[in-house]
Structure 1
Amino acid sequence: MKHLALILAGSLALLACSKEEPAPEPVRPVLSVEVKSQDQANLGRFAGYIQARYESNLGFRVPGRIARRAVDVGAEVEKGALLAVLDPTDQQNQLRAAQGDLARVQAQWINAQANARRQQELFNRGVGAQAQLDIAQTDLKTTQASLDQARAAVDQARDQLDYAQLHTDHAGIVTAWNAEAGQVVSAGQQVVALARPDIKEAVIDLPANLAERLPPDVVFLVAAQLDPGVHTTATVREIEPQAQSATRTRRARLTLADTPAAFRLGTAISVTLSSAVAPRIELPLSAVQEVDGKSRIWVIDMQNQTVQHRDISVVSRTASHVLLDGGVQPGERVVSAGVNSLKPGQKVKTDEDSPR
């Protein structure tokens, strides 16, 4: 009996100890983000490219068949460089014809000049008639006018022959060819595009509704897509007044604050639009828990590695983020995933910042 009593007493003592020391709750790993105050509103990011501000579409001043192209796309050319040549046969024939007409009229002018001089001498000796002298002088003036016209025709034919060669009027880079060797082109038809590389700008397409409500303090950050470390700021130079019917976008041309060497013509860029706003706090939508019609978040006590919930007021929300007007301070850390399984005072193990 004595041994039985001792055994029962020991069992009761063990039961008492087990009730006084419950098993600790497991530490829960969570993802978290640090609360940061934002004073810039992101209006969007758009793809674009670098383009020359000034680009000329050049063509021949006379019609003809292109005999050859002297340069290819991407070539850098100096002022006066030869770009393309037409078959000069027609222009050469016109020049020969004009030169033949000039030679004929020159012969007529020499005869008219000699006749007028002879009639003047006869009239001075008193043996010539005034009427004959007037006719000779009139023929001389008429022939002189024909001679001037023939000389102008020769000059024009020489110009037409020169126009069969297409030269640049400024240094630039060939960006496009719109005609090939052997193709017949008309006068003024666009044959080649020539860009001036000294002044460059960024070109993007903006949604029509955004282009119409751009804030006056909007900031454009322009970065190279292949190397975002190469970047600069820009301002709006021009926005097309009408939206493109297919995409409902309006093309915007931006003046660069400076032009990094990596910003070559045709470089793909990414343009981020932002605007200054009153300081605000933005959190991932996954950080917000809805309980009884109220919104709350779980704030981490970094010293004790525990969490406590806190009611917040949501100003607006998107598919991925919420905007708060307070309830949390910059520098605090908030659970960003797994909020529905947390309890007040629960131990947690934080990980690196999750994507915002």
Structure 2
Amino acid sequence: MEIEAPEVGTIRTFPGRIEAARRAELSFRVSGNVADFLFSEGQEVDEGELVARLDPTDFQIVYNDRKATFDRARADYERGQKLVEKGTISRRDFDALLASFKSTEADLQAAQQNLAYTRLTAPFAGVIARRYIDRFEDVQAREPVLALNDTSRLEVKIDVPETLMRRVRRTDPADSTTLIYATFDSVSDRHFRLQFKEISTRADAKTQTFEVTLTMEPPEGLTILAGMTTSVVVDTRNMRPNESGEVIYAVPASAITGDKKLEPMIWIVDPKTMTVEPRRVEIGAMTGNDVGVTSGLEPGDRVVVAGAAYLAPGMPVRLLPVTEQPASNPR
């Protein structure tokens, strides 16, 4: 593998996907028949506002029945307290009254909670993005009925190749130079500043790209909804290689081995003699199957990435053709 200089001073454009910063699929915690939806798709709701409800008839009947049973058990328990003090009933009979009182009280609380579960409220302020069920349909407990999106802050997701992944860093809000921004075809002359949120540490198995999540304030005068697409521009012309100003080279983890002191080293190939010599390096974080080398490598160095554990200083090596697979124990 030949070490290449990190990509600097360029502008890259990536297709982006708009998502709501917070999103939830709302469901009832009990089964029942949908009596009403109070909002349509696209309407805004406030936190705690009622958005849908089930027919409460059956739940109300259960509640009334358990309330009557509880009232009777409570009355028996209160009479038993007076009787046990006088010795009219045994302690064992009183304990049975107490157990019945507590059991019916728990049943009443469960019925009251189930009755409350027939009302579905918004956990946060947002927009009804989708309705999965119509009125008068039967739904099962925890079956999604509504999708709620918080559009007060949007997320933009892009897939970044490995070579650029380490250069996507947090931007300074006070910096007037836009490093990462989004554009839309309908307003191509406007740039919308993005802020870094998080980055996946595992590459996609098929594309070998890393998902980067950015955040964007909802633009004024422009409707941006979850599911829309955008173009994300990453301008690296004013970026440092990393926060400390050092250059980081990504090499496969198989290229890193240890010397006698267990310090990290890499085998460097001399292109003239096609022999190898060890070189001490300093390493950083590991991302996917690669390790970041912060010191000890230069552009143009050719490193051994297969069979590094079996090499010795001055050992001749040969380059493998693209179609040839590396042996597990090279000699």
Q: Same fold (TM over 0.5)?
A: yes
Aligned partner (choices 189, 192, 212) of residue 252 of structure 1: 212
| Cα distance in 2 between the residues matched to 1:179 and 1:243 | 37
Aligned partner (choices 124, 127, 147) of residue 170 of structure 1: 124
| Cα distance in 1 between the residues matched to 2:208 and 2:131 | 29
Q: Are the equivalent residues in 1 in contact too, given 2:17–2:230 (CA < 8 A)?
A: yes
Q: What is the RMSD of the two structures over their aligned residues, measured on CA atoms?
A: 3.2
Matches within 5 A, 1:325-336: none
Kindly tell me: are residues 211 and 95 of structure 1, through their superposed partners in 2, closer, same or farther at Cα, counting changes over 3 Å? farther
Q: Are the equivalent residues in 2 in contact too, given 1:50–1:263 (CA < 8 A)?
A: no
Q: CA offsets per residue over residues 272-313 of structure 1, 9 Å max, x none?
A: 2232289xxxxxxxxxxxxxxxxxxxxxxxxxxxxxxxxxxx
Gaps of 5+ in 1: 1-38, 121-132, 279-356
Q: CA offsets per residue over residues 42-97 of structure 1, 9 Å max, x none?
A: 22x23334432122222212222323322122110112211111232332232123
- SS of residue paired to 1:199: strand
Give TM-score, length-normalised by structure 1: 0.53
Give TM-score, length-normalised by structure 2: 0.57
Gaps of 5+ in 2: 1-7, 172-178, 240-331
Q: Are the equivalent residues in 2 in contact too, given 1:76–1:173 (CA < 8 A)?
A: yes
Match of 1:12 in 2: none
Amino-acid identity (%): 25
Aligned partner (choices 146, 155, 177) of residue 100 of structure 2: 146
Match of 2:14 in 1: 46
Alignment pair present for 1:82 and 2:50: yes
Aligned partner (choices 49, 66, 72) of residue 34 of structure 2: 66
- The structure whose residues are more often helix, as a share, is 1
| Cα distance in 2 between the residues matched to 1:210 and 1:179 | 45
Q: Are the equivalent residues in 1 in contact too, given 2:170–2:196 (CA < 8 A)?
A: no
Match of 2:190 in 1: 230
| Cα distance in 1 between the residues matched to 2:207 and 2:137 | 34
Q: Are the equivalent residues in 1 in contact too, given 2:36–2:135 (CA < 8 A)?
A: yes
Alignment pair present for 1:200 and 2:154: yes
Q: Are the equivalent residues in 2 in contact too, given 1:225–1:268 (CA < 8 A)?
A: no
Q: Are the equivalent residues in 1 in contact too, given 2:162–2:210 (CA < 8 A)?
A: no
For residue 138 of structure 2, what is the amino acid of its counterpart?
V
| Cα distance in 2 between the residues matched to 1:217 and 1:69 | 42
Kindly tell me: are residues 171 and 186 of structure 1, through their superposed partners in 2, closer, same or farther at Cα, counting changes over 3 Å? same
For residue 234 of structure 2, what is the amino acid of its counterpart?
L
| Cα distance in 2 between the residues matched to 1:59 and 1:177 | 11
Match of 1:102 in 2: 70
Kindly tell me: are residues 61 and 106 of structure 1, through their superposed partners in 2, closer, same or farther at Cα, counting changes over 3 Å? same
| Cα distance in 2 between the residues matched to 1:186 and 1:240 | 35
| Cα distance in 2 between the residues matched to 1:245 and 1:69 | 42
For residue 107 of structure 2, what is the amino acid of its counterpart?
A
Q: Are the equivalent residues in 1 in contact too, given 2:67–2:108 (CA < 8 A)?
A: yes
TM-superposed deviation, 1:168: 1.3
| Cα distance in 1 between the residues matched to 2:232 and 2:145 | 32
TM-superposed deviation, 1:228: 1.8
Match of 2:115 in 1: 161
| Cα distance in 2 between the residues matched to 1:138 and 1:56 | 51
Q: Are the equivalent residues in 2 in contact too, given 1:211–1:250 (CA < 8 A)?
A: no
Aligned partner (choices 184, 188, 192) of residue 142 of structure 2: 188
Q: CA offsets per residue over residues 193-212 of structure 1, 9 Å max, x none?
A: 222232223233x2554564
Kindly tell me: are residues 242 and 87 of structure 1, through their superposed partners in 2, closer, same or farther at Cα, counting changes over 3 Å? farther
Larger Rg: 1
Alignment pair present for 1:273 and 2:242: no
| Cα distance in 1 between the residues matched to 2:96 and 2:33 | 39
TM-superposed deviation, 1:167: 0.8
TM-superposed deviation, 1:171: 1.6
For residue 219 of structure 2, what is the amino acid of its counterpart?
P
TM-superposed deviation, 1:247: 6.5
TM-superposed deviation, 1:221: 2.1
Bigger relative contact order, structure 1 or 2, given CA contacts below 8 A and separation 6+? 1
Aligned partner (choices 23, 31, 43) of residue 55 of structure 1: 23
Q: CA offsets per residue over residues 145-171 of structure 1, 9 Å max, x none?
A: 422332232122111101011011322
Kindly tell me: are residues 249 and 178 of structure 1, through their superposed partners in 2, closer, same or farther at Cα, counting changes over 3 Å? farther
Q: Are the equivalent residues in 1 in contact too, given 2:34–2:139 (CA < 8 A)?
A: yes
Aligned partner (choices 115, 121, 126) of residue 83 of structure 2: 115
Match of 1:19 in 2: none
How many residues matched?
A: 223
